[in-house]
Amino acid sequence: MTSEAQLRTMLGTPGMDPAESATLVLDAAGKLAGAGVVFHEDPHVVVHAWGLISEAHHGLGIGTFLHNWVVKQASAATANAPAEARLAVRQRTLNGDRAAEAFLRKAGYTQTRHYWRMLIELDAPPPAPQWPEGIAPDAFDPRRDLRAAALASREAFQDHYGFVAGSLESELEKTRHYIESDPGFEPALWFLARDIEENTVAGLCLCAPAEAGDRTTAYVQNLGVRPAWRRRGIGRALLLHAFGQIYRRGTSRIALYVDAQSLTGATRLYESVGMKVGGLSHEHELQLRPGVDLAVRGRRTAGT
């Protein structure tokens, strides 16, 4: 789910035009009946979309209207994609939402992936992290670490399903916008694992104080370890370090989302620190144009 503040930040992302990226459907009384959002990033080969309809307005054709709008906007958004690239639009549904799944299936979508919502409720401080020799936790400084953290994140996720390499400068511009605009951003909850000898970022754990506006639940947005530093326990140490910092701030409930078929074994890591499955969602994909698939589909490297 996305909070209002997150939605405002997203629609204000550099390069996005809110008039083209979102649409609202109102009923005769002027109440919100449905909404659609499309979001894409360089190189514009994948468009993420959301279509929401209020329960009181089901069966009125709003879903069909929103789907047609999403496809039109997604197709226009990919005008800058490489000519030979495959283009697709993706949407997610919560497990058990049979009506939404049936609608997307009828519209030509294929269910491609599943994502667990992992959850932990701490009733005591978590175990102290065991840092590998030569690795130490470090606080994130937006002025000093933005580029290094972005490069580390790209490298850490280059072997994850669905990853598409885009412009680093565009990514940095969007991250600066998030840091400056999202009220949920707290630099104290962005943690780095630094290789002391090389003075480089080996991994990162980026957290937010609330999940979709729910401040009773902190949220792990991004946990990644660069391939050359994997299999040394850095991911586990980062996660426990984040848990400890969040717990000391007075929040005992922490959530994250993970690919249920993670190519790097991330689900096993989360289970090893006591996280349990608290929900399931499904990704659906509609091909807009065949071509060379720039997204990662298979495993390139192993370990976390």
pLDDT at 249 over 70: yes
The CATH architecture annotation of domain 4-113 reads 3-Layer(aba) Sandwich (3.40)
Alpha carbon distances (Å) from 291 to 77, 295, 301: 17, 11, 25
Higher pLDDT, 39 or 131: 131
* Nearest alpha carbon to residue 122 among 209, 222, 240: 240
pLDDT recorded at residue 36:
93
Give the model's confidence band at 184: pLDDT under 50 very low, under 70 low, under 90 confident, else very high.
confident
pLDDT at 147 over 50: yes
CA dihedral 65, 115, 160, 40 (to 10 degrees): 20
87: its two tokens? 């283009």
pLDDT recorded at residue 115:
95
Q: What is the pLDDT of residues 84-127, one digit of tens each?
A: 999 999 999 999 999 899 999 999 999 999 999 999 999 999 99
Give the model's confidence band at 222: pLDDT under 50 very low, under 70 low, under 90 confident, else very high.
very high
d(CA 259, CA 273): 17
Higher pLDDT, 4 or 246: 246
Mean pLDDT in residue range 165-188: 90
Alpha carbon distances (Å) from 274 to 215, 263, 271: 21, 21, 5
Q: What is the pLDDT of residues 151-160, one digit of tens each?
A: 999 999 998 8
- Percent of the chain past pLDDT 90, that is, above it, reads 73
- Matching CATH topology for 4-113 and 119-280? yes
Candidate from 3-7, 104-108, 179-183, 217-221 with smallest mean pLDDT: 3-7
pLDDT recorded at residue 3:
61
pLDDT at 284 over 90: yes
* Nearest alpha carbon to residue 218 among 268, 244, 262, 252: 252
d(CA 98, CA 117): 19
pLDDT recorded at residue 2:
58
Q: What is the DSSP letter of 256?
A: E
pLDDT recorded at residue 277:
93
pLDDT recorded at residue 298:
62
Q: Where are the domains positioned within the chain?
A: 4-113, 119-280
- Cis bond upstream, residue 43 (ω within 30): yes
CATH number of 119-280: 3.40.630.30
pLDDT at 299 over 70: no
pLDDT recorded at residue 18:
83
Mean pLDDT in residue range 64-85: 92
pLDDT recorded at residue 302:
37
pLDDT at 79 over 50: yes
The average confidence (pLDDT) of the chain is: 91
